[in-house]
Amino acid sequence: MNSDEIILGVHNKIIGYPGTGKTTLLINELIRLRNNFSELRITYLSFTNEAVNTARDRLFARTDGKSVVFGTIHSIAKRVTANSRKLIHWDTRNCEICKSSCEYHLREFAKLYTSWYYDEEIKLDYTFTKYTLKMDGLYALNKNFNEPVFDMTLHYALSSLIVSNFGSEVFDKQIIYRINKLVSQIDIPRYSLLTSLEELMDFTIEWLEYKKNNGLFEFDDLILHAMDKSLDTDILIVDEFQDLSTLQYQLISKWGENIDTVVVAGDYNQSIYGFQGGTPQFLLDFECGHKIVLRHTYRLPRKVLEIAKDILQDENGFNSVYSNRDDGDISRINLEEIDINQLIIEYDSIFLLCRTNRQIKELDNKLNNLFRNRLSIAERAAYARMLNLYRNRQRGKINELLKQHSGRGELFLLAMDNGLTLQQLEKKFSVLQMKTIHASKGLEADIVILYDQSDRDMYSDEERRVWYVGLTRSRGSLIILQEITRKRTNYLSLIQ
């Protein structure tokens, strides 16, 4: 038997380091199992809708894929519990048809809880502040407790306090995460709200009651309810296992007790959701009868791989990963010197990765990115005319046209000098993607630009892993972007 095959009747663990073909292996195995054991029911779970859809599409591209059940943990949990309560999202970006209802409830709850200073003018900021809150919220709590910096001790202290007061209904560290989000809903003195543990508890109780009174549930409630049910399948595959929260991990473990073949797959080093209770240990400690370790990275050039090893200092196996590729450059560059437009012309996909959403906003304002807004119809017509003139060497007329479109003149010249057709130029507008490192997980690009800035000192293994996730998104080169006036992170100091 091929040792890279899933073995039936036992628990399997697949460790897939970046670019080692984990998903490909899983898809191949899905096809093999389906063909050879068509009577077995297979359920495939992953963390995000995007990951689930990718896997489903890849399977459908090769077979009809019909006898495999695909889903996120939440969608499968919802099916299993047949829950009739209404879902509420704190992050309304996750809403599908429920957005207006979710916003209504969040506003109502904010009003209820903050009635003594509620102001009709308050606008809930759903788009930007929410995600920066996770860490910032705790940080702010720390400030209220006169602690110097974020530390896990407080996190655990609060968790255990809540556990002892509320029992099993909110027994998970996740609660802290949710409370931070609650705080973020209320735009007024953002952090002054929770100045004591008592207030923190009040806050939580209010929310639990509000949910109950209004027939609402959150994803975590769903997971809790699903623990009492069993998942009806013969083979359970869980991809991106390192992303599970504590609660989700408990659910999968519980379900796994009654399933013959369980396959968990992931890269423990990509566990970067500590604020939701995720940890590399879930994957590292998972007991299995068969283990597959994928060590050959096709994505990462050798140089990038070596840097990743130095930053990570992982003693659980990452050092044995290898690459046969000698391409790819690593460089460090100052913000004033980076020619982002030239890079966009040269490459087909670029990630510019930041640690926080706020950094993305700031950096986006500083970059002279000519590809920020797509061409208007008039500009497209103008470029088409210019190309014609360019071919006929009618410089004078080009200059006239450039004057009429002075705002875009530089872009047109750059594109013409690089021989871009109108169609090619249009495509360039989607080349650069600015993301947080967290949002880049599972994705890759031709070149990665990592913005080397740290808002505060963070010394932790998780922080190490976050930078590792960022730099291992590159299929080729890596650029470390720095600003002389800004504080750099410790973890990229190896790259000079």
DSSP string for 108-145: HHHHHHTGGG--TT-----SSHHHHHHHHHHHHHHHHT
- Shortest reach from residue 91's CB to Zn ion, in Å: 8
Binding-site ranges for Zn ion (CB under 5 A)? 89, 95, 98, 102
Q: Which is nearer to Zn ion, 130 or 428 (CB)?
A: 130
Q: CA 58, CA 36: separation in Å to the nearest integer?
A: 19
- Is residue 153 within a helix (H) or strand (E), and if so which, with residue range? helix 152-166
Which CA distances in Å does 109 have to 86, 102, 112? Answer: 15, 11, 5
Q: Residue 46 CB: number of other CB atoms within 10 A? A: 27
- H or E element at residue 399: helix 395-404
Q: Residues near 306 by Cβ (< 8 Å), separated by ≥ 6?
A: none
Q: Which C-beta is closer to Zn ion: that of 95 or that of 122?
A: 95
Q: How far is the CB of 96 from Zn ion (least distance, A)?
A: 7
Instruction: Tell the smallest beta-carbon distance from residue 252 to Zn ion (Å).
Output: 24
Helix (H, G, I), strand (E, B) or coil at 59: helix
Instruction: Kindly tell me which of 102 and 354 has the beta carbon lying closer to Zn ion.
Output: 102
Cβ proximity to Zn ion: between 93 and 456 the closer is: 93
Comparing CB distances to Zn ion, the nearer of 98 and 335 is 98
HSE (side-chain half, CA atoms, 13 Å) at 273: 23
> Minimum distance from CB of 99 to Zn ion (Å)?
6
Q: Which is nearer to Zn ion, 126 or 255 (CB)?
A: 126
The nearest distance, CB 92 to Zn ion, in angstroms, is 6
Query: How far apart, in Å, are the Cα atoms of 102 and each of 88, 98, 182, 321?
Result: 5, 6, 13, 45
Residues contacting 36, CB < 8 A, separation 6+: none
CB of 148 to Zn ion, least distance (A): 37
Which tokens hold the place of 57?
Answer: 């599409």
Please name which of 330, 347, 332 lies closest in space to residue 453, comparing C-alpha atoms. 332
Shortest Cβ 218–Zn ion spacing (Å) = 10
Alpha helices, DSSP H, located in 313-356: 340-346
* Residue 216 vs 252, nearer CB to Zn ion: 216
Distance CA 441, CA 466 (A): 10
Q: Quick check: 452 and 480 in contact, CB under 8 A? A: yes
Give helix then strand counts, H and E, for the chain.
Answer: 20, 13
- Which of 95, 227 has the CB closer to Zn ion? 95
Q: Write down the least CB distance from residue 106 to Zn ion, Å.
A: 9
Q: Which is nearer to Zn ion, 17 or 177 (CB)?
A: 177
Q: Closest residue (Cβ) to Zn ion?
A: 95
- Smallest gap from residue 97 Cβ to Zn ion (A): 8
Q: Could you tell me if 6 and 287 are in contact, meaning their C-beta atoms sit under 8 angstroms apart? A: no
Q: Which is nearer to Zn ion, 79 or 295 (CB)?
A: 79
CB of 90 to Zn ion, least distance (A): 9
